[in-house]
Structure 1
Amino acid sequence: MADFDFDHRKAVRHLRTADPALAEVMARVGPFAMALKSSCSLFTALAEAIVYQQLSTKAAATIYGRVEALFPCSSNGFTPQDVLRAPPDTLRAAGLSAAKVLALQDLARRVQDDELPLLEEARTMDDAALIDRLIEVRGIGRWSAQMFLMFRLGRPDILPLEDYSLRRAYAIAFRKRALPSPRTLERHGEKWRPYRTVACWYLWQTLDLPPV
């Protein structure tokens, strides 16, 4: 857990005390074991997010590998300049949809024009301010920005209200007949502050547990 800037043990204790119903879920799941994905730059992290959208992990990894293979001289992954120099048809031939090509090009232009923060600067920005900057990029919506903050930066207090898997996990964990509305999830999530990311991770894990 060294990658996190917060004490995950303190977060677990807080959640168990603040929400006894969630504490039962946490006991079933076991120790907190959320892993962060490493990032060499904000560009590569967001480019990967764009490629992976609406695809299975296996299919997305294959396409991302094909895009990387277009630029064999880029030792640390392809760059904004690589994307902007590449003909759109070449990117499409790697398996990218037309919409994803446009999104990658927009991301590359914004990074090249210094419209987005560097990764180290992003690490120091307020959650809301950073999300607002990221969603200016074509193809990066609020959900994608929130996933970046959670799984790339390890921010402790993110609650993706529109996440279908989270809403489904909530309904299963708390034995609800219907999926919660975003507003219901938001209200319940007030108990979990300032560690809503940790609560989300525990809820997501319940989707892989046998029914009780």
Structure 2
Amino acid sequence: MNSTQPDYWEQAVSDLKKKDRILKRIIPLHSEKKLLSSESPFITLANSIISQQISTKTASIIWGKFVKIFGQSPSPKDIIHNKREELMSIGLPKRKVDYLYDLAIHFHEKKINPDKWIDMDDESVISELSSIKGIGRWTSEMFLIFNLRRPDVMPLDDTGLIRAISLHYFSGEPVSRFEAREVSVAWRPWRTVASWYLWCSIE
């Protein structure tokens, strides 16, 4: 686990506090928190698949059970050689178990090349990840944020982020993707950082 902030973080915080009065208020309240990142692309993606469409609390519980089976650093081979029933027994639906197997196969058979992702632009990484079952735009964007630590990702499909934007910018009123995108224009090129602090604000 990488616990150091990305090199751009301090500059991003400074710029965002100047650009956005709401972030100027929110950021100091969470200054002690850090964007933790997994150094393993496989583990990051497995965690993201498990976390899809469930609460953070539920995802944490299931991930804890997952780690009890495979340890802190499971390999693709570990997943492939495990019985699907055991994965389903920790609370994973069959659909997500299938996704985890497909993810493991892609890594094990080298159908994808994670070593190249560091040099690829965001959309190219998203395109390659989409070849894996169960990995859509949201999961890819979480990977860009929490593994590759890209500075300007705006995950418009994230319900937590939309809820935070609604709370802080629209007095709790429903917010469309278009409205959220419009709010985020001022955050460029640091939308990852803005999103992260907004997530912190609703924890």
1:151-184 Cα shifts (integer Å, max 9, x gaps):
2322110111122222222222124463221122
1:23 and 2:21 aligned: yes
Determine the C-alpha separation between the residues in 2 that align with 1:132 and 1:34: 31
CA distance in 2, matches of 1:63, 1:169: 25
1:104 to 1:15, Cα distance in 2 relative to 1, 3 A? same
Q: In the alignment, which residue of structure 1 is the partner of 2:120?
A: 125
Q: Give 1 or 2 for the bigger CA radius of gyration.
A: 1
- Spell out structure 1 runs of 4+ moving beyond 4 A: 31-34
Q: Distance in 1 between matches of 2:191 and 2:122?
A: 13
Distance change (3 Å), C-alpha of 1:78 and 1:175: closer
Contact 2:80–2:104 (CA<8 Å) still a contact in 1?
A: yes
Matched, 1:188 2:178: no
Q: Report percent identity of matched pairs.
A: 34
Contact 1:11 1:195 in 2 (8 A): yes
Which is worse superposed, 51-60 or 93-102? 51-60
Aligned residue pairs, count: 200
Q: How does 1:26-105 map to 2 (within 5 A)?
A: 26-30=24-28, 32-71=31-70, 77-105=73-101
Instruction: Tell me how far apart the structure 2 counterparts of residues 24 and 57 of structure 1 sit (CA, whole Å).
Output: 24
Cα separation, 2, equivalents of 1:202 and 1:68? 27
Structure 2: segments with no counterpart, 5+ residues: none
1:135-156: CA deviation from partner (whole Å, max 9, x where unpaired): 2221222112111211232211
Q: TM-score, normalised by structure 1?
A: 0.80
2:163 paired residue number: 168
- Which position in structure 2 is the counterpart of 1:110? 106
* Structure 1: distance between partners of 2:129 and 2:91: 24
Q: List gaps (5 residues or longer) in structure 1.
A: none
